[in-house]
Amino acid sequence: MRVAALISTGKDSTYAMQLASEEHDVIALGAVVPRRRDSWMFHRPSRALLGLFARATDRALVVRETGAAREEELGDLRFLLERLLELGVEGVVTGAVESEYQRSRVEELCGELGLESINPLWGREGPGLLRDMVDSGMHVVVVKVAAMGLGEEWLGREIDGETIAELVELNEKYGVHVAGEGGEYETLVLESPIFDGRLHVVESRVVESGSSSELVVKEARLVTS
């Protein structure tokens, strides 16, 4: 089946695309980019790297910006899916893990447009999901934190066995979702089996905003050798 993957440059959407590519022909990427930080559905950090991400995966990229209102986000998602449909896709891949709001809205729109909704990560348990990502060859770093126990020192940290163990401890102590499903942290994928090369961060800066800290990548490049 010819499909498009909804991507954010984060771990979940990338791993979902990686798994889907084993069974389907992923011909395009799609991204809804929120202009504000308080999006109901979409990942905002590292949005400036979407073009580089598309180059790394050698796929066409369709982007749609959106505001923060629920209705506006859903309207812009529909617009994006319609553009992807014009490319000849038959299904859409998402990285939804536990968000019923996210999964159901995408499924509803896909149903209206005659597209199949594919959710390879749905219902997966946090620690096991992260371990599978690491074991698959993905290199993922934390680029935003917004939870008790996750301070600025976590920014730029790679998701590995030690990190996962600490996240499990934070879950037990503070209720932090191990996979970040509550928005506790967000990530950037630097390397994946579906990449031709890897992303190299050249320059970045830390931005504080209320109770959250974000590693904003100012410059990055694709390294292929």
The pLDDT tens digits for 99-139 are 888 889 899 999 999 999 999 999 999 999 999 999 999 99
Per-residue pLDDT of 172-210, as tens digits, reads 999 999 999 888 999 999 999 999 999 999 999 999 887
Based on the domain organization, do 84 and 190 belong to the same domain?
A: no
Based on the domain organization, do 160 and 80 belong to the same domain?
A: no
Based on the domain organization, do 80 and 149 belong to the same domain?
A: no
134-148 per-residue burial string, b: 16 or more CB within 10 A, e: under 16: beeebbbbbbbbbbe
Residue 102 tokens, joined: 């996210």
Per-residue pLDDT of 150-170, as tens digits, reads 999 999 999 999 999 999 999
Q: Given this model, what pLDDT does residue 189 score?
A: 96
Based on the domain organization, do 162 and 107 belong to the same domain?
A: no
Domain that holds residue 77: 2-118
Based on the domain organization, do 112 and 201 belong to the same domain?
A: no
Based on the domain organization, do 157 and 194 belong to the same domain?
A: yes
pTM of the model: 0.94
Domain limit, last residue, from 118, 152, 186: 118
Q: What is the CATH number of the domain that holds 73?
A: 3.40.50.620
Instruction: Answer yes or no: is pLDDT of 22 > 80.
Output: yes
Based on the domain organization, do 148 and 73 belong to the same domain?
A: no
Based on the domain organization, do 96 and 189 belong to the same domain?
A: no
Phi then psi for residue 90, to 5 deg, are -115, -15
**Alpha carbon distances (Å) from 179 to 8, 50, 111, 127:** 15, 22, 28, 7
- Sheet of 212-223: strands edge to edge? 185-191, 139-145, 212-223, 198-209
Question: Considering its fold, how many domains does the chain have in total?
Answer: 2
**Range list of β-strands (E), 53-138:** 60-66, 91-93, 116-118
Q: What is the CATH number of the domain that holds 146?
A: 3.90.1490.10
